[in-house]
Chain A
Amino acid sequence: MALLNTPVRRTWFAVFVVGALAVPFFGNALVVDLLCRTALAVIGAQALNLLTGYTGLVSLGHAGLMAAGAFASGILTAELGAPFWIALPAAPLVGGLLGFLVGIPSLRLKGVYLALSTLALHFVILYVAAEYQSARGFSTGLLIPRPTLGPLTIAGGRAWYYTLLVLAAATTLFCLNLVRTRAGRAWMAIRDRDIAAATTGINVTRYKLMAFVVSSAITAFGGSLYGYYAGFVSVEAFTFFTAIEYIAMITIGGLGSVLGSILGAAFVTLLPYGVDALINVLPVGERVQSHLFAVKFGAFGLLMALFLVLEPRGLVSIWSRVRTYFDLWPFRYHPLGE
C-alpha cells in the first residue's frame, strides 16, 4: 500500500485495474491476443530492466535466456511428460543457474565487453538448442500441451489474458518492491559508481551476481510462459532480433524505471500493428503494401535510433515533462526559490 500513497494514485490505479479486467468483454480476439503478448513482453522487459536499468549491466543475451527457459519447460513436458506445475518452475531454476554462470564474467568485464560476452552466450545457447532439436527429431519445434493444474486448464484467449495479466502484475510488483530493498539500492549504487558502492560497504561481487541470477530467472520464467502461450518451442522464436527488441523496450520506455518498462513493452509490441493500421489508412505505393514486414522492421530501427538520439531517457521522461507542464501552467518553469 505504501506504493499507492496518494488518493490520486489510488484512483488512477483503480481505473486501470477495472479497465484491464473489463477488456476481454469488449475487445475481439485480436485485441486480447495483443494484450497477452504485451503482458509477456512486460515480464521480459521488467527482468531486463532489473539488470540493465537498475544495475547497469548490459545484456544482449536476453533472447538466449528466454530460449533456455522455454526449452527447459518444453523438454520436461515433451520428453518426460512432466506436469505443468513441475515444468514451469523448472524454467526459473535453469535461468537462475545460467544467470549465475553468465554473471561470473561480469565480475571481470564492464560495459561493451560484457555486452559482447552475453551476445556470444546467446549464440551458444541457441546452438545447443538447435543441435538438440535436430538430434532428437524435433525439427519444427517441441509441442507443449495446454497447461493443466488440477481441474483447471488454461485455454482460450480470455483465460490466458487473466493468467498473464496477473503474472505480469505480480512480476511488476515484485520488481517495484525489489528495487526498494537493500538489494535494489545496492544495485543502483553499483550502476552509478561501482567503486563508491564498494567503499560504502556493498559487496559488489555478490550483488552483481544476484542481479544476474534474479533477472535471468524471471527472464527464463517469461520464456517458458511464452512457450506455453504459443503451444510450441522452437529456436526460430528466439533470434538476436528478439534480444534487441527487449533492449529497445527498456530504452524506449526509459532505463531504470518500472513504469518505463511497461510503456516500452507495450510500445514495441504494438508498434507493428500500429504500422499496419497506418499503412491501411495512408495512400502508399504497391511496394510498401507487398513488403509490410520490411516496413515494420525499418520503422522499428528508425524509431529506436530516434529515441536514442533525441529522447535518451525514453517515454517516461516525455510523460514527466507533460506532467510538469500542466503542474506549472501557466508558467514555463518553477518560480525562483521553490
Chain B
Amino acid sequence: MQVAANTLVLASTYVLLAVGYVVVYRASRILNLAHGELMMLGGYALFTLLSIAPGRPLLALVGTVVVSFLLGTIVYLVVMRPMAGHPLFSAVLVTISLGIFFRGLAILGWTAEIRYPLALMGFGTTSLRLPGGAVISNIDLLSMLAAGGLLLGLWMFFARSRLGIQMRATAENPRLAAERGVNIHLVFAVSWGISTFAAGLVGILYSSQVRLDPEIGVIGLKAFPVALVGGLDSLAGVLPAGLAIALLEVLAIQYVSPLLSEVVPFLALLVMLCVRPWGIFGTPEEIERV
C-alpha cells in the first residue's frame, strides 16, 4: 500500500511539472528546459512574500502564483519572443542558459541555505493514515488534489474558454490562426504564464514537502521525460505517463537502489524514443523523420 501511496505522491509532482512543459511546447514548439528553475523561483517567491508579510499565508500563496504567472509572460516577452524565426534548438539552448542564470541569481539573492517555507507559514506536516496502512502527509494530499485540479481546470480552459480555443488553434497552425485574427503573441505569452503558474504551484508544494534551496530545479529535468512519454503535445498523456514513471521509480528505490531510481525516468525516455517517439497520446506527424 505504501508503494501505491508513494507512487501517487511522486506522480502528482511529475504531473504538475510535466503540464508546464506540455503547455509551452503545444503553443510554441519550444522545450522549456528552465522549467525546474522557474519552479525554484516560485518557491523563493513564496519564501520572500512570507518574510515580508509574516502571518498572512493566504496572501503569500496567492502572491506566489501571480508572480509566477507574470514571470512566465515576462520571460516570453523579453527573451523568447526575439527568438522567433531562429532555429528551434537555439531557443531551447536559450532556456537552458536562462535556467543557469536563474540558479546563479537565486544563490546570490537568497544564498544556498536550505529553507523551509512551511514552518515560516506556521504550519507543520501531519501524517494521515490511509485505509490499508499507508501513510502520507497533508501536503502530499494537497499536491495530489492540486495535480487533479490543474488537469481538470486546464481541460475546461482548453475546451470551453475563448482564449483556450484560440490557444488550441495556434498550436495547430500558428499562421492560419494569426490570419484569423488570433493575437498569437498574447496566446504565447499566456501559455508561458500558465506554464510558470503550474511551476509556481509545484514550487509551493515541493518546498513545503521537501525543502527549498537553489538546486531543487533539478527535479524539473527529471519530470521532463514524463512530458515526452505522455506525448509532448498532449495534456491527456501526462497523467498515465506520470503514474507509470513514478511507479517504476518507486519500485526501483524499493527493490534495486536509489541510484537507479534517479535514472529511471531517462531509461523510460530512451525506451519510448526507440519505440514510439511521439509518446502515448502525441501526434505522430509531429516528428520529422529521415
Q: Which residues of A contact B (CB under 8 A)?
A: 58, 105, 107-113, 115-117, 119-121, 123-124, 127, 130-131, 134, 194, 204-205, 240-241, 244, 247-248, 251, 287-288, 291, 293-302, 304-305, 308-309, 312
Contacts and interface: CB of A to CB of B under 8 A. Distances in A.
Nearest to B30: A112
Interface in B58-82: 79, 82
A124 B104 contact: no
Interface string B90-133: 10111011111111110110011000000000000000000000
A113 B93 CA distance: 14
Interface residues of B, number: 45
A288 B96 CA distance: 23
A296 B108 CA distance: 11
B86 to A, nearest CB: 6
B152 interface: no
Given A112-B31, A294-B104, A304 B97 contact: yes
Interface string B227-260: 0100000000000000000000000000001011
B89 A111 contact: yes
Interface stretch (B12-20, B159-167, B264-272): B264-272
B79 A309 contact: yes
Q: Which 9 A-B pairs have the closest CB atoms?
A: A298-B104, A301-B101, A301-B100, A294-B107, A304-B97, A297-B104, A120-B266, A127-B263, A305-B97
Contacts of A113: 273, 277, 287
Contacts of A111: 88-89, 288
Instruction: Give chain B's interface secondary structure class.
Output: helix
Nearest to B111: A291
30 contacts: A110-B287, A112-B88, A112-B89, A112-B92, A113-B277, A113-B287, A116-B224, A116-B269, A117-B269, A117-B273, A120-B225, A120-B266, A120-B269, A123-B263, A124-B263, A124-B266, A194-B290, A205-B290, A251-B93, A287-B108, A294-B105, A295-B104, A298-B108, A300-B101, A301-B97, A301-B101, A301-B102, A304-B93, A304-B96, A308-B86
Contacts of B263: 123-124, 127
B186 interface: no
Given A113-B287, A305-B101, A308-B97, 5 more contacts: A108-B277, A127-B263, A251-B90, A288-B108, A294-B104
A301 B266 contact: no
Contact of A301 (B83, B92, B98, B277): B98
Contacts of B269: 116-117, 120
B108 A305 contact: no
Contact of B104 (A105, A109, A131, A301): A301
A118 to B, nearest CB: 10
Nearest to B104: A298
A204 B289 CA distance: 12
In this complex, the member of B89, B228, B288 whose beta carbon has the largest number of chain A beta carbons within 10 angstroms is B89
A309 B267 contact: no
A247 B93 contact: yes
A252 B37 CA distance: 23
B99 A301 contact: yes
Contacts of B53: none
Interface of B: 31, 79, 82-83, 86, 88-90, 92-94, 96-105, 107-108, 111-112, 221, 224-225, 228, 257, 259-260, 262-263, 266-267, 269-270, 273-274, 277, 287-290
Given A110-B290, A297-B100, A58 B89 contact: yes
A124 B97 contact: no
A297 B103 contact: yes
Contacts of B290: 107-108, 110, 194, 204-205
Contacts of A294: 103-105, 107-108, 112
Nearest to B268: A120
Contacts of A299: 104
A113 B257 CA distance: 28
Instruction: Name the residue in A105, A112, A295 with the highest tally of chain B Cβ atoms < 10 Å from its Cβ.
Output: A112
Contact of A134 (B96, B225, B259): B259
Nearest to A190: B290
A109 B89 contact: no
B93 A308 contact: yes
B93 A120 contact: no
Nearest to A114: B273
Contacts of B98: 301, 305
A127 B270 contact: no
Contacts of A298: 100-101, 103-105, 107-108
A109 B266 contact: no
A288 B105 CA distance: 11
Contact of B94 (A107, A130, A293, A309): A309
A293 B107 contact: yes
Given A127-B263, A194-B290, A312-B86, A120 B104 contact: no
A76 to B, nearest CB: 23
Contacts of A204: 290
B277 A127 contact: no
Contact of B273 (A120, A241, A288, A296): A120
Nearest to B93: A308
A109 B273 contact: yes
A284 to B, nearest CB: 11
A294 B113 CA distance: 13
B289 A241 contact: no
Contacts of B92: 112, 115
A117 B107 CA distance: 30
Contacts of B104: 294-301
Contact of A123 (B266, B274, B288): B266
